[in-house]
Chain A
Amino acid sequence: MTARQRVQALLCAGALALLAVAAVGDRFWLQLFGKAMITCIFAISLDLLVGYAGLVSLAHAAFFGLSAYALAGLTNRLQLVNPLLTLPLALAAAALAALCIGWLSLRAAGVYFIMVTLAFTQMLFYLFSEAPWFGGSDGLYLSQKPLLSILGRPLLDLGNRTAAYLFIFAALVLSYFFLSRLLRAPFGRVLAGIRGNEQRTRALGFSTARYKLTAFVIAGAVAGLAGYLDAALYGFVNPAELGWRQSGLLLMTVLLGGRGTLYGPILGAFLLTFLEHYGARLTDHSSALIGAVVILVVLFLPRGVAGLVERGGRG
């Protein structure tokens, strides 16, 4: 098998396994795999920036969190439960925030870009922790989960565990196809050029700043999708979701899985979700366990878990 076929086989097997979880319908597994899939969507959106556009952003949790808060606000204050309304509005909020933060932070390059994105994340974290109308550090519960009904009959009820799980699954499949198409399209090729050599790509006639900002906004919107799903799955949002720790953990997920591959961060997301869950059962210091795994992977698998898949699992 070629590396490409191996990846496709792995993704198909993974998708079938995820559907099998839905068929079994066990509450615990639906929750754990649902959470893992949300992390997958979140991680592949960051991979667009880190792995393809060469932008290491620590602001990514902000778009996840803002979208989650947008859903909470729309549900609790405006009694909007229809996902056909709340989903586009939450994504628009994330995209708008990404446009503003990206427009300002992309003026800086390299390590300064990382610092500016970190500063924005911290600002938002304190804003949401301190301001009472966002629930403060306790966060907010959703008064109702998104519900789509036509003529009084429920069509999609995210309060239903299996429905929510399948909705998340569909969102992951769509996000993956959207991003992999995007990367092969002219837009994605320009990003590849920017990663290779931005100055050269600019001299070929591409306004690289605009392409980077557009990538930042698209990645922010997809991160917003993950945040929306997270709030819908748990019915709860809290400020930690938009803090820099969340951004840092996500960056680790992408590096652990293998940046610039799209499927690598998916593997990383599953690996970290399970490490977190089972690590917490084994020891009170699961963060140390995760840290050790990350150090080992970075030292011995510089291209992440994806590097293993590409070499066919041989050393």
Chain B
Amino acid sequence: MAEPILELRGLSRRFGALRAVDKVTLAFERGRVHAVIGPNGAGKSTLLNLLSGELRADGGSVHFRGEDVTRAPPDRLSRLGIGRSFQTATVLEGLTCEETLRLAAQSCLRSSMRFFRPSDRYPEVNARAERALGECRMTARRSARAKDLSYGEQRQLEIGMVLATSPQLLLLDEPLAGLGHDEALAVVDLLRAIAVEHTLVLVEHDMDAVFSLAAAVTVLVNGKVLETGTPAQIRASPAVREAYLGEEEP
């Protein structure tokens, strides 16, 4: 078994009486696509928000490459190498694709508290932004304003922003949600290309996409891990079928 890049030990978070994430223990291995699925309200989004620092855990711990990062805020996690994409399109209004990716690429500077040299005159920032532009396949749309992009393009840009920060681990929050068939295919293809060089944690509803992309799948139900295994094992599991797949697949 490969070394885990991210480990959760008994991670919990409650909202009032609801245990949204309940003592989740999981290991994400380096270099793999690991999907987290589950019915609505299973705690997938809460789990992702705990991993990216948007929410604080009530109990348990998160370890990234052996370091305890349970209490780290989102900006620190990003600098450590955990990049996340957001489900709702969160493109930065007013910026073009190129400007957006250059901003994300500024994270390669030790600090952005730099007040004089224009940001497009930092060779390392430009190089990184350019690479991310290519990786998310938006080179032809570089000068388009982010808010003028189609929904699918916004998702691609969203993924490009994460890539521009050079993450070691990508947390992707439902990258296919709300996309049409063709747009979804384009994003799945993009994710497959990214997975060659990156470790991905994928929270997703789209079952076909999950089973075609992921090497490991974890099923979350009522905030608890029901089962973790390969896509084939998950498909064959009676417990999963009953709890989850039964609703979707006849």
State the A residues within 8 Å of B (CB). 181-182, 184-190, 192-193, 195-197, 199-208, 210-211, 214
Kindly state whether residue B45 has any CB partner on chain A within 8 Å: no
Across-interface contacts of B76 in A (CB, < 8 A): 207
* Contact residues of B between 102 and 120, Cβ < 8 Å to A: 102-104, 106-107, 109, 112-120
Q: Are B109 and A204 within 8 A (Cβ)?
A: no
* Chain A residues, Cβ within 8 Å of B54: 199, 203
Do the beta carbons of B74 and A185 come within 8 Å of each other?
Answer: no
Chain B residues lying within 8 Å of A203, measured Cβ to Cβ, are 52, 54, 74-75, 78, 83-84, 86
Interface pair A201/B92, CB less than 8 Å apart: yes
Answer whether A182 and B103 are a contact pair too, CB < 8 Å, given A192-B94, A206-B75. Answer: no
Q: Contact: B78 with A185, CB < 8 Å? A: no
**Any chain A CB within 8 A of the CB of B165?**
yes
Task: Decide if B172 is an interface residue (CB 8 Å cutoff).
Answer: no
Is the pair B78, A205 in contact by a Cβ cutoff of 8 Å?
Answer: yes
Write the B66-82 contact mask toward A (1 if CB under 8 angstroms, else 0).
00000001111011000
In the complex, which residue of chain A has the Cβ closest to the Cβ of B78?
A205
B161 at the interface (CB under 8 A from A): yes
Chain B residue total in the interface (Cβ 8 A): 38
Do residues A192 and B103 form an inter-chain contact, with CB atoms below 8 A? yes
B contact residues vs A (CB 8 Å cutoff): 52, 54, 73-76, 78-79, 83-84, 86, 90-95, 99, 102-104, 106-107, 109, 112-120, 122, 125, 146, 161, 165
A214 vs B115: C-alpha distance in the bound complex, in angstroms? 11
Name the B residues within 8 Å of A206 (CB-CB): 75, 106-107, 112
Q: Which residue of chain A is the closest to B94 with respect to CB atoms?
A: A196
- Of B74, B92, B94, B119, the contact of A186 (CB 8 Å cutoff): B119
Residue on B with the closest CB to A200? Answer: B90
What is the distance, in angstroms, from B85's C-beta to the closest C-beta of chain A? 9
Measured CA separation A205–B79 after assembly (Å): 5
Chain A nearest CB, measured from B149 CB (Å)? 14
Q: Which residues of B contact A197 (CB under 8 A)?
A: 90-93
* Chain A hits for B99, CB < 8 A: 189, 192
State A203–B92 Cα separation when bound (angstroms). Answer: 12
List B contacts of A202 (CB < 8 A): 73-75, 78
Report A-chain residues with C-beta under 8 Å of the C-beta of B78.
202-205
